[in-house]
Structure 1
Amino acid sequence: MGKLVEDGPKPLPEFGFTDAAGAEHGVAAFAGQGLLINCWATWCGPCVEEMPALDRAQAVLAGEGIRVLALSSDRGGKAAVEPFFRDKGIGRLGLWLDPKGAAQRALGVRGLPTTVVVDRQGRERARLEGAAAWDQPAMLAEIRRLVGPAAAPADQSKT
């Protein structure tokens, strides 16, 4: 299992991907959130191996404003990914698609899986090439450290 390699912070390029309904999204839509952008495919053995751990990590991190964006590069799109998620019991990750590889090109991905950690300011902080145990306490702590604390809610009592 791999280890996060810090290389930043550096600005994240803008790129697009689609949801299960085919609607276009960009990373700017997730401003203020921490992101774990995972580039993967159903035909990639190590990707398949780490997907349940990413799903469990999403369950833990969701309440902290950290989102896992698992971008599938499967050319079959939703038709390939939806049954895979169902068969593997993946229920917390959104169905995000990058069938033309736009996200992979923008991020300079060299192989699958590759995961990029993005802080709340929209900067790449680290990446990992290969599979990882994303739901392990040490990895979750590292993600939290790299992403940074959530913004404190505005204090409404002061006027």
Structure 2
Amino acid sequence: MSRSLSVTLALALGFAVSLAGCDRESGTDAQPQGDTTATQSAKEGPVSRKFAGETLPEFTATDPSGKTLDLASLKGQPVLLNLWATWCAPCKAEMPVLDAIAGEHQGKLRVVTISQDMKGAEVVTPFFTEGKFAHLEPWLDTKSDLSFNSGTSDLPTTFLYDASGKEVARVTGAFDWEGEEARALISEAMGGAG
């Protein structure tokens, strides 16, 4: 097998694995997984507090017009930070709910959604136009630096930070942002104000 064919196959396999992570919560399994009860109970589930206390990352996102947002500058207000992509079905499904949360808690909770799409504004701008989001801004991270630096490869991943800029919890994969658990997490990040 030639070296270029080996490299191409390795890249294709890596891409396929990264795509599989996105949709793992979105329906039936591609193949039967057997009894996963034991492994699921060993995991924390979609909500993790493993990184609680970590500070807002040093990262600057850009919007399609070139405006920038320094995440560290958000310290002083609670933040819901969502990493998503237009090719990720669960990500797209939760965007209208995140928009509603941003509207409901406007001035009390900053909701920041950062696309991990390599094509950036080319795909994000039409998605935002079609979605008619009233409270979300189309922040971009075309190199997925934020995903890599935060140690996550699954999308969506959402981080909740309190007003001191400390992580409260992170949520990986599809999640019911309209449910009681989500409301409790948001309230906790907001210091009990809801």
Which of the five TM-score ranges fits, normalised by the shorter chain? Answer: 0.7 to 0.9
- Structure 1: distance between partners of 2:72 and 2:140: 16
- Structure 1: distance between partners of 2:151 and 2:46: 18
Quote the offset at 1:4 in angstroms. Answer: 2.6
Q: Does 1:53 find its partner at 2:97?
A: yes
- Structure 1: distance between partners of 2:192 and 2:76: 11
2:127 aligns with 84
Query: Given that residues 162 and 190 in structure 2 are in contact (C-alpha distance below 8 angstroms), is that contact kept between their aligned partners in structure 1?
Result: yes
1:148 aligns with 191
2:167 aligns with 124
In structure 1, give the amino acid aligned to 2:106. A
Quote the offset at 1:120 in angstroms. Answer: 0.7
Structure 1 residues 111-120 or 1-10, which shifts more? Answer: 1-10
Unpaired runs of 5+ residues, structure 1, are: 151-159
Match of 2:141 among 81, 86, 98: 98
Structure of higher CA gyration radius: 2
Q: Does 1:111 find its partner at 2:170?
A: no
Structure showing the higher helix proportion among its residues: 2
Quote the offset at 1:44 in angstroms. Answer: 0.5
Query: Given that residues 41 and 112 in structure 1 are in contact (C-alpha distance below 8 angstroms), is that contact kept between their aligned partners in structure 2?
Result: yes
Q: Deviations over 1:53-104 (max 9, x none)?
A: 111111111132x111110011221221121122123221011111111211
1:75 aligns with 118
2:68 aligns with 24
Question: Residue 93 of structure 2 aligns to a residue in which SS?
Answer: helix
Query: Given that residues 155 and 172 in structure 2 are in contact (C-alpha distance below 8 angstroms), is that contact kept between their aligned partners in structure 1?
Result: yes
**Seq. identity, %:** 38
- Structure 1: distance between partners of 2:69 and 2:60: 5
For CA contacts below 8 A with separation 6 or more, give which structure has more relative contact order: 1
In structure 1, give the amino acid aligned to 2:61. F
Q: Does 1:34 find its partner at 2:78?
A: yes
In structure 1, give the amino acid aligned to 2:183. L
The list of structure 1 runs, each at least 4 consecutive aligned residues, that deviate by more than 3 angstroms after superposition, is 135-138
Quote the offset at 1:35 in angstroms. Answer: 0.8
Query: Given that residues 57 and 72 in structure 2 are in contact (C-alpha distance below 8 angstroms), is that contact kept between their aligned partners in structure 1?
Result: no
TM-score (norm 2): 0.69
In angstroms, what is the RMSD of aligned CA positions? 2.0
In structure 2, give the amino acid aligned to 1:142. L
